[in-house]
């Protein structure tokens, strides 16, 4: 029987990461067992351990990759305030609210990340720190360190607003949270 090459193994690993990332953000980390994750990827349970040591290893990998992807999307936006406004408007949009499986891992998984192992917390910290740093560099291009407190405040404002809008049982209130969150963030940006 022929063994798969490194390229196939890498593609399979990425498929697991992508499908599990969507499932985690949709159903939560605790609500997603290995059997379900592997079925989503079209693979058997046994194949999981050829790519990851444990579910915790997968979670840490996904958290790191999801935040890296979010960083890259933010980085690709226009420079300065224009890019930050676009980020705010997307982040606090009904589309982002209604599709957690394709959105920000912070808003979808923060409570579970806080209860996760150290590897996941380290991956989260590194990714969140990078995003805050990028926001700071857009707020204060000449001195990102000076922009860091405002960047941290903006990022936490966005994450909290999105979480609240998702938790609301009434669509009208949820929409109000998003709309006010955008207004607050834009006022905050100056």
pLDDT of residue 3: 63
pTM of the model: 0.89
| pLDDT value of residue 64 | 96
Q: Which residues, at least 6 apart from 99, have a Cβ–Cβ distance to it below 8 Å?
A: none
Q: Taking the domain 55-189, which CATH number applies?
A: 1.10.357.10
pLDDT at residue 4, as a whole number: 66
Task: Check residue 2 and give its pLDDT.
Answer: 47
pLDDT tens over the chain, length 190 residues = 446 677 888 888 999 999 999 999 999 998 888 988 999 998 888 888 889 999 999 999 999 999 999 999 999 999 988 999 999 999 999 999 999 999 999 999 999 999 999 999 999 999 999 999 999 999 999 999 999 999 999 999 999 999 999 999 999 999 999 999 999 999 999 8
| Domain parsing of the chain, residue ranges | 55-189
What is the model's pLDDT at position 9?
Answer: 83
């Amino acid at each position: 029987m022929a063994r798969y090459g490194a390229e196939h193994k890498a593609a399979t690993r990425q498929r697991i990461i992508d499908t599990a990332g969507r499932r985690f953000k949709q159903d939560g980390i605790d609500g997603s067992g290995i059997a379900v994750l592997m079925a989503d990827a079209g693979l058997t349970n046994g194949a999981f351990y050829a790519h990851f040591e444990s579910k915790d290893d997968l979670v840490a990998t996904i958290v790191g990759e999801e935040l890296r992807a979010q960083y890259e999307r933010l980085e690709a936006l226009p420079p300065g305030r224009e890019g930050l406004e676009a980020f705010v408007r997307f982040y606090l949009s009904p589309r982002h609210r209604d599709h957690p499986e394709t959105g920000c891992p912070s808003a979808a998984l923060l409570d579970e990340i806080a209860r996760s192992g150290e590897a996941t917390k380290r991956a989260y910290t590194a990714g969140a720190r990078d995003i805050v740093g990028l926001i700071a560099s857009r707020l204060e291009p000449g001195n990102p360190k000076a922009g860091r407190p405002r960047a941290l405040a903006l990022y936490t404002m966005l994450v909290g607003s999105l979480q609240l809008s998702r938790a609301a049982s009434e669509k009208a209130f949820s929409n109000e949270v998003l709309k006010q969150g955008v207004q607050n963030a834009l006022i905050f940006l100056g």
